[in-house]
Amino acid sequence: MDRVKAGDIMSFPVLTIRPEATIRELADVLGENDVSGLPVVDDEGRLLGVVSEEDLILQDAELHFPHYIQIFDSVIYLESIRKFEERFRKALAVKVRDIMSDEPVTISTDATLREIATIMIDRDVNRLPVVDEENRLLGIVARGDVIRGIAALQALDEKNEKGAEA
């Protein structure tokens, strides 16, 4: 699996969206193109974040105030207040910049298929933007690209085994 690199399996050019796009525009682009997420880029093509269907769905989900206990004059939250604040911010969003994840997990073109698969599983992400040293978006690797890469490797290995037997 180390023979296949991100540069070999990434999709490009990549459908992107700007941070100033509205939530409605984002929903339209996702729906019209049948994709579940998009990289958010600036005018120079630098990756600023990623936005997904989940970010949109959070806008319609009920907000639950974190459970807490009060001891004397102190409030102790039993759940993450940071997570609540993030969901609250996204619920009130009107622009893509307000709901995007601004610290996306990225890879370089040299990332191996094994590294890509591991990152996707460990970080629970469906797509990985491929960027250069200046954080410019070069392509994207989705789970489907990983599956196709694994299948191509297995087919190549089978072909090589048959050739060695002959």
Q: What is the CATH number of the domain that holds 131?
A: 3.10.580.10
Scanning the structure block, which residue is given the tokens 């989900």?
61
pLDDT tens by residue, 102-144 = 999 999 999 999 999 999 999 999 999 999 999 999 999 999 9
- Residue 119 falls inside a structural domain: yes
Residue 93 lies in a domain: yes
Query: What is the tens place of the pLDDT at every residue in 59-74?
Result: 554 545 555 567 777 7
Closest residue by Cα to residue 156 from 28, 8, 26: 8
Residue entry with tokens 């601004």: 102
How far CA 130 is from CA of 14, 40, 41, 66, 115, in Å, comes to 10, 13, 13, 36, 13
What percentage of the chain carries pLDDT values higher than 90? 57
Identify whether 68 is part of a domain: yes
Q: Which of 47, 45, 54, 61 is nearest to 27 (CA)?
A: 54
Decide if 111 is inside a domain. Answer: yes
Residue 148: band (very low, low, confident or very high) from pLDDT cuts 50, 70, 90:
very high
Total number of domains in the chain: 1
Considering the domain boundaries, does residue 153 fall inside one? yes
Rounded to two decimals, the pTM is: 0.75
> What proportions of the chain, in percent to the nearest 5, are helix, strand and coil?
45, 25, 35
Q: Is residue 37 part of a domain?
A: yes
On whether the CB atoms of residues 132 and 12 are closer than 8 A, the answer is no
> Would 1 be classed as within a structural domain?
no
Residue 127 domain boundaries: 6-165
